C-alpha cells in the first residue's frame, strides 16, 4: 500500500513538473491498437501485434502498414520482426510547444532493443518520428523510420517533387507526374494534387548526422513510401562512396516530419519552420534590415581591380543613394578579391573596405573555406596559417579524392583546415569586412573513408564541425551569405542563402532561378533571407531587365551585379528602378512570394503572390518570346478578388481587368508586379 501511494504521489509531482509519464510500460489495450491523436482530426493507429501503423485524417487512411527498418551490424531489422511490444506516453514541452511523446519499445530474443518514437504537438497537423537501437557496439548506415504504403491523393494532376540536396551544377527541382517511379528526393519530398493542392509532405528535420532520402513511388494497389537516413547518390549528394556508418551502444535515425495538408504549399512551409525549431540557428541572430547591395561576380568577375570596385562604391553612394533598406548597402567582392593582395599584404584590400565605410556602405568579401583549387599543383603545397600541406588535408574518398566543380574537398575536421580558416578569416576581419559570401560548402559534407576527428563518421557530422568552427571564427562580425551549399543543413549557420546556381541577366536565367523559387520558396522560413543571385541588366532588353529584377524581389532580397565602373544602358535603368520607393518597401519585408502553380516540371511558375497586411501582390512572368494573355481565377489565388481595389503596377504601365478573375496581357520576355489594397 505504501509503495502504491508513494508512486501515486510521485506521479502527481512529476505531472506538475510536466514530465510525468502518462502511462509507463503500459499493457497493450484489448485491441492491441495504440491510438495517437494529433492536430485537427488526425491520428496514428499503432498495432502492437504487428509492429506497423496507419495514419488517418478524419477517418480516411493516409499512410498504411508503415514499419521501421534499419541495418544494424550485419542484420536488417524491422519493427515487424520483434515479438514483444509495449509503449510509454510522456508529456513534453520543447521548442515545438506542448505535446506528447509516445515510445514503442520492441524486444526479441537475440535482437537489439528497438524504439519507435512519435512526437505530437498541440495545434500541429504533423508528427515527428524516429527510431533508436540499443545494444553493444552497434553500427548502421541505413535507418528508415518510415517504410510502407500510402493511399491515393484526392484530386487530379498528381505530382511528385524532386528536391535537390544542394544548388550546384545548375540542378533543378522537378515536379513530375506521379505515374511511375520518380526517383529519390533529398531530405524532403511531397506528392500532391495540382488540382486540389492536397498532399503529403515527409522529410528530415535533423541534418547533423545523416543525409536523408525520400522515395515515393506510384504502384498498385497502394503507393510505396520510404524515408531513410543513409542516402547518397553522386548526381545529387555529390558522394562517390556510400554513406558513413554511425557507431555506439545507442544509435538513432534522423527525426522525420510527416504531414498531410489540404495545401501542400502550407505543408512545405510548416516543414521549413519545423527545421528551424529542431535545429535552431548556430549563427548570431540577424536583427538588421533586409540586405541589399552589389556583388562583383555578376559582370566584373576576374577583371576585379581596386579602381573598378571603388568606382562601383561611388555609384552606389552618389547615384542611387535611395537604394537602401536601412542606412547602408553592401558592396561585396566575390572571387578574385585576391587581386588586391600581394605577397600576403592585405593593405589594399583594407583600403577598399575603409573606402566603402567612408561612403556609408558596408564592405563584403568572398571565400570557399573547404576547397583546394590548386590541387593540380600537388599535395606538398603548404596551406596558409600552418605547416600542414594540402595533401594532409584532402578528404580521402575510396582510392582517391572528391573533386567537385574543379576543386578538391578538404577535411573540415583537420587541424590544417581549421588553422587555414582561422588565418584567412582573421585577415578579413582585420580588414573590417561586414559581409562574407561563403561558397562551395557542399565540399565539407562529402562522405570520406575517415576523418581526422575520430568521432566524426559521416559527411554531415564533418559539415557540422566545419561550419561551427567557421562561424566561431567569424565572431559575429559579418553577415553570412551562403552560395553553393546543402539546402537544409546550412540553415543553422548563415543568415542568407542563394536559392539556385549562378544566374545573371537573360530571361532563361530568370526562369532557371524561379524554378528553385517555385519549389523552394518555403526556405524563406528556414533562413533569414533567400536570394536570387546576381541581378544583372547589362545589354538585355528592358523586359528581360524587369523580369530579372522581379525575380530578386519575389525571392526576398536585392543584390545587383552590373559593372557600374563604366557607362552603359544599365545605368539609367538602375537609377530608375533601384530608387523606386514601392520596390524598396516591398524588399524590406524580406520574405519570398508563394508560387501559384506546381506542375511545371523543371520550369517555373509564371505567377507568384504575397500578402503583407492589407496589401496583396501578384507578380507575373512571361518566359516565352511571344506575348501572352493571363487569366487567373479567384480560386487559384485563394483570395476574394472582389475585395481587391486600388490596383497599381509597379514596374511598367500594364492594364489589368478584374471581373471575377485577373486578366492582363504581357509581352514576351517581360514581367509585371501588381499591388492591390484589400478591402476588409
Q: Residue 3: pLDDT band by 50, 70, 90 thresholds?
A: very low
**Do 244 and 153 belong to one domain?**
yes
Q: Residue 221: pLDDT band by 50, 70, 90 thresholds?
A: confident
**Do 190 and 61 belong to one domain?**
yes
Question: Is residue 4 predicted with pLDDT exceeding 90?
Answer: no
Average model confidence (pLDDT) across the chain = 94
**Do 372 and 486 belong to one domain?**
yes
**Do 560 and 640 belong to one domain?**
no
Kindly report the pTM of this predicted structure.
0.94
Establish if 583 belongs to a structural domain: no
Give the CATH number for residue 252. 2.70.98.60
What angle, rounded to 10 degrees, do the helices at 507-520 and 542-555 form? 20
Segment 500-512, tens digit of pLDDT = 999 999 999 999 9
Establish if 423 belongs to a structural domain: yes
Question: Is residue 235 predicted with pLDDT exceeding 90?
Answer: yes
Return all residues near 542 (Cβ < 8 A) that are at least 6 apart. 573
Give the CATH number for residue 545. 3.20.20.70
Instruction: Give the length of the chain.
Output: 680
Q: How many CA atoms does the CB half-sphere of 142 hold within 13 Å?
A: 14
Q: E-assigned strands of 211-312?
A: 212-217, 223-229, 246-252, 256-261, 292-295
Overall number of domains in the chain: 3
**Do 257 and 313 belong to one domain?**
no
Establish if 15 belongs to a structural domain: no
**Do 268 and 297 belong to one domain?**
no
Q: E-assigned strands of 309-398?
A: 330-332, 362-367, 371-372, 396-397
Sign of the C-alpha dihedral, residues 194, 198, 203, 206? positive
Give the CATH number for residue 629. 2.60.40.1180
Let me know: does 161 contact 196? Beta carbons within 8 Å.
Answer: no
Question: Is residue 22 predicted with pLDDT exceeding 60?
Answer: no
Let me know: does 299 contact 538? Beta carbons within 8 Å.
Answer: yes
The C-alpha cell 587541424 sits at 415
Establish if 516 belongs to a structural domain: yes
Neighbouring CB atoms inside 10 A of 335's CB total 17
Let me know: does 62 contact 39? Beta carbons within 8 Å.
Answer: no
Let me know: does 550 contact 671? Beta carbons within 8 Å.
Answer: yes
**What is the reported pLDDT for 220?**
85
Question: Is residue 8 predicted with pLDDT exceeding 80?
Answer: no
How do strand 188-193 and strand 185-186 relate by DSSP bridges? unpaired
Residues β-bridged to residue 535: 560
**What is the reported pLDDT for 659?**
87
Question: Is residue 29 predicted with pLDDT exceeding 90?
Answer: no
For residue 622, give its domain range. Answer: 595-678
Establish if 16 belongs to a structural domain: no
C-alpha to C-alpha distance for 85 and 145, rounded to whole angstroms: 16
Segment 475-490 shows an average pLDDT of 97
Segment 541-565 shows an average pLDDT of 98
Establish if 587 belongs to a structural domain: no
**Do 471 and 542 belong to one domain?**
yes
Q: Residue 181: pLDDT band by 50, 70, 90 thresholds?
A: low
User: Which of 278, 307, 337 represents a domain boundary (last residue)?
Assistant: 278
**Do 303 and 174 belong to one domain?**
no
Question: Is residue 16 predicted with pLDDT exceeding 80?
Answer: no
**What is the reported pLDDT for 68?**
98
User: Which of 566, 583, 608 represents a domain boundary (last residue)?
Assistant: 566
Residue 38: all three cell numbers together: 494529433
Establish if 260 belongs to a structural domain: yes
**What is the reported pLDDT for 285?**
94
Q: Residue 242: pLDDT band by 50, 70, 90 thresholds?
A: very high
Residue 650's closest CA among 620, 680, 613, 606?
620
Question: Is residue 355 predicted with pLDDT exceeding 80?
Answer: yes
Residue 257: all three cell numbers together: 516530419
What share of the chain in percent tops pLDDT 70?
95
**Do 534 and 673 belong to one domain?**
no
C-alpha to C-alpha distance for 207 and 282, rounded to whole angstroms: 13
Establish if 288 belongs to a structural domain: no
**What is the reported pLDDT for 15?**
35
**What is the reported pLDDT for 9?**
36
What angle, rounded to 10 degrees, do the helices at 347-358 and 415-431 form? 50
**Do 444 and 498 belong to one domain?**
yes
The alpha carbon of 367 is separated from its chain's Cα centroid by a whole number of angstroms, namely: 21
**What is the reported pLDDT for 660?**
87
Return all residues near 53 (Cβ < 8 A) that are at least 6 apart. 44, 45, 46, 47, 63, 66
**Do 385 and 419 belong to one domain?**
yes
Q: How far is CA 588 from CA 330, 529, 676, in A?
A: 15, 11, 18
Residue 207's closest CA among 514, 557, 591, 487?
487
**Do 163 and 44 belong to one domain?**
yes
**What is the reported pLDDT for 325?**
94
User: Which of 278, 308, 336 represents a domain boundary (last residue)?
Assistant: 278
Q: Residue 152: pLDDT band by 50, 70, 90 thresholds?
A: confident
Phi and psi at 132, nearest 5°, equal -135, 140
**What is the reported pLDDT for 7?**
40
Lowest model confidence (mean pLDDT) among 72-81, 117-126, 470-479, 638-647: 638-647
Q: Residue 445: pLDDT band by 50, 70, 90 thresholds?
A: very high
C-alpha to C-alpha distance for 465 and 472, rounded to whole angstroms: 11
Phi and psi at 338, nearest 5°, equal -70, -5
Q: Residue 269: pLDDT band by 50, 70, 90 thresholds?
A: very high
Amino acid at each position: 500500500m505504501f509503495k502504491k501511494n508513494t508512486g501515486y504521489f510521485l506521479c502527481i509531482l512529476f505531472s506538475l513538473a510536466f514530465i510525468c509519464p502518462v502511462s509507463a510500460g503500459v499493457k497493450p489495450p484489448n485491441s492491441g491498437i495504440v491510438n495517437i491523436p494529433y492536430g485537427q482530426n488526425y491520428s496514428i493507429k499503432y498495432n502492437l501485434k504487428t509492429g506497423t501503423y496507419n495514419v488517418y485524417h478524419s477517418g480516411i487512411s493516409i499512410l498504411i502498414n508503415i514499419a521501421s527498418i534499419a541495418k544494424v551490424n550485419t542484420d536488417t531489422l524491422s519493427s515487424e520482426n520483434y515479438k514483444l511490444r509495449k509503449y510509454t506516453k510522456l508529456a513534453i514541452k520543447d521548442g515545438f510547444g506542448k505535446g506528447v511523446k509516445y515510445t514503442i519499445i520492441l524486444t526479441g530474443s537475440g535482437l537489439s532493443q528497438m524504439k519507435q518514437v512519435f512526437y505530437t504537438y498541440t495545434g500541429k497537423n504533423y508528427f515527428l518520428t524516429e527510431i533508436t537501437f540499443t545494444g553493444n557496439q552497434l553500427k548502421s548506415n541505413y535507418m528508415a523510420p518510415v517504410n510502407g504504403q500510402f493511399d491515393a491523393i484526392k484530386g487530379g494532376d498528381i505530382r511528385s517533387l524532386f528536391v535537390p540536396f544542394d544548388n550546384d551544377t545548375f540542378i533543378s527541382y522537378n515536379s513530375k507526374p506521379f505515374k511511375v517511379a520518380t526517383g529519390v528526393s533529398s531530405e524532403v519530398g511531397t506528392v500532391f494534387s495540382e488540382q486540389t493542392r492536397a498532399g503529403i509532405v515527409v522529410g528530415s528535420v535533423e541534418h547533423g548526422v545523416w543525409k536523408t532520402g525520400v522515395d515515393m513511388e506510384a504502384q498498385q494497389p497502394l503507393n510505396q513510401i520510404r524515408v531513410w537516413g543513409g542516402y547518397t547518390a553522386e548526381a545529387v549528394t555529390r558522394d562517390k562512396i556510400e554513406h558513413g556508418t554511425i557507431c555506439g551502444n545507442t544509435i538513432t535515425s534522423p527525426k522525420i516530419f510527416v504531414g498531410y495538408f489540404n495545401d501542400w504549399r502550407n505543408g512545405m512551409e510548416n516543414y521549413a519552420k519545423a527545421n528551424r525549431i529542431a535545429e535552431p540557428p548556430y549563427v548570431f541572430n540577424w536583427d538588421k534590415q533586409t540586405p541589399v547591395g552589389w556583388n562583383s561576380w555578376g559582370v566584373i568577375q576576374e577583371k576585379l581591380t581596386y579602381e573598378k570596385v571603388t568606382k562601383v562604391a561611388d555609384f552606389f553612394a552618389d547615384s542611387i543613394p535611395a537604394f537602401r533598406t536601412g542606412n547602408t548597402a553592401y558592396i561585396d567582392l566575390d572571387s578574385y578579391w585576391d587581386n588586391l593582395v600581394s605577397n600576403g599584404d592585405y593593405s589594399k584590400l583594407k583600403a577598399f573596405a575603409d573606402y566603402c565605410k567612408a561612403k556609408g556602405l558596408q564592405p563584403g568579401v568572398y571565400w570557399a573555406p573547404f576547397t583546394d583549387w590548386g590541387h593540380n599543383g600537388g599535395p606538398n603545397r603548404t596551406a596558409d596559417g600552418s605547416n600542414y600541406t594540402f595533401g594532409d588535408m584532402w578528404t580521402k574518398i575510396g582510392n582517391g579524392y572528391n573533386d567537385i566543380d574543379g576543386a578538391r574537398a578538404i577535411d573540415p575536421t583537420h587541424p590544417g583546415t581549421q588553422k587555414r580558416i582561422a588565418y584567412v578569416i582573421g585577415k578579413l576581419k582585420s580588414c573590417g569586412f561586414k559581409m562574407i559570401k561563403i561558397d562551395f560548402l557542399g565540399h565539407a559534407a562529402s562522405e570520406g573513408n575517415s576523418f581526422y576527428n575520430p568521432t566524426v563518421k559521416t559527411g554531415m557530422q564533418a559539415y557540422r564541425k566545419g561550419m561551427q568552427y567557421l562561424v566561431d571564427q567569424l565572431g559575429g562580425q559579418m553577415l553570412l551569405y551562403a552560395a553553393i551549399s546543402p539546402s537544409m543543413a546550412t540553415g543553422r549557420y548563415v543568415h542568407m542563402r542563394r536559392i539556385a546556381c549562378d544566374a545573371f541577366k537573360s530571361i532563361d536565367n530568370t526562369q532557371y532561378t524561379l524554378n528553385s523559387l517555385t519549389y523552394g520558396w518555403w526556405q524563406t522560413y528556414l533562413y533569414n533571407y533567400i536570394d536570387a543571385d546576381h541581378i544583372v541588366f547589362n545589354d538585355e532588353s528592358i523586359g528581360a531587365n524587369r523580369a530579372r529584377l522581379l525575380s530578386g524581389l519575389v525571392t526576398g532580397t536585392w543584390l545587383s551585379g552590373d559593372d557600374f565602373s563604366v557607362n552603359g544602358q544599365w545605368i539609367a535603368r538602375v537609377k530608375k528602378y533601384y530608387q523606386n520607393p514601392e520596390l524598396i518597401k516591398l524588399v524590406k519585408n524580406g520574405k519570398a512570394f508563394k508560387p501559384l502553380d506546381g506542375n511545371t516540371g523543371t520550369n517555373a511558375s509564371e505567377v507568384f503572390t504575397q500578402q503583407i497586411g492589407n496589401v496583396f501582390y501578384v507578380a507575373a512572368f512571361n518566359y516565352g518570346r511571344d506575348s501572352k494573355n493571363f487569366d487567373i481565377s479567384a480560386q487559384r489565388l485563394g483570395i476574394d478578388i472582389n475585395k481587391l481595389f486600388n490596383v497599381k503596377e509597379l514596374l511598367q504601365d500594364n492594364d489589368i481587368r478584374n471581373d471575377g478573375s485577373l486578366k492582363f496581357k504581357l509581352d514576351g520576355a517581360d514581367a509585371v508586379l501588381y499591388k492591390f489594397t484589400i478591402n476588409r
